[in-house]
Amino acid sequence: MSGGVNRMNEGQDRGGDASRASDTASDLSKQAQETASGLAGQAREAASSISSAASSAVGKARETMSQVGEKVSSMTGSLRDKAAEPLRSAAGAVSSQWEAGRSYFQEHDMSDIGQEVTSMIRRHPLPAMLAVFGLGVLLGSAMRR
């Protein structure tokens, strides 16, 4: 009889182990779902924050371009009044080109501008590399001061 009782106890132990394993697996599954849900929420918040920051940066860039354009226009206007004819025509050309560039930035979004820059770099790789090198030298010397 004791052999039968031992077998029953072993069966109950195995059943209890299986029940505990199932409970543990269920708990782990719930924890994984909660963690995944929390991470998804954090990812949504981060994406929203990045989007807001990018929109703000684009708005500030456009505002700055507009302010610089107004200053360049006023400076070229005063140059036209004070300078000789060759300088006046050069100032007029700079002013008209600046206005064309400013209107382009106002009419196009950043993805259009990025595609245009990428296309230009592909058409003219050497001048693009030289321009970037020159910009790096200027920034490096400005930051050193």
What are the domain boundaries of the chain? 2-107, 113-145
Report the alpha-carbon distance of residue 59 to residue 65 in Å, rounded. 10
Query: What region, left, alpha or beta, does residue 124 occupy, with left being phi > 0 and alpha being psi -120 to 50 degrees?
Result: beta
Report the alpha-carbon distance of residue 23 to residue 27 in Å, rounded. 6
Mean pLDDT of the region 79-96: 71
Asked whether 88 and 79 are in contact (CB, 8 A), the reply is yes
Q: Evaluate if residue 6 carries a pLDDT over 60.
A: no
Q: Which residues contact 98 (CB under 8 A, 6 or more apart)?
A: 69, 72, 73, 76
pLDDT tens profile 46-73: 666 776 776 777 777 777 777 777 777 7
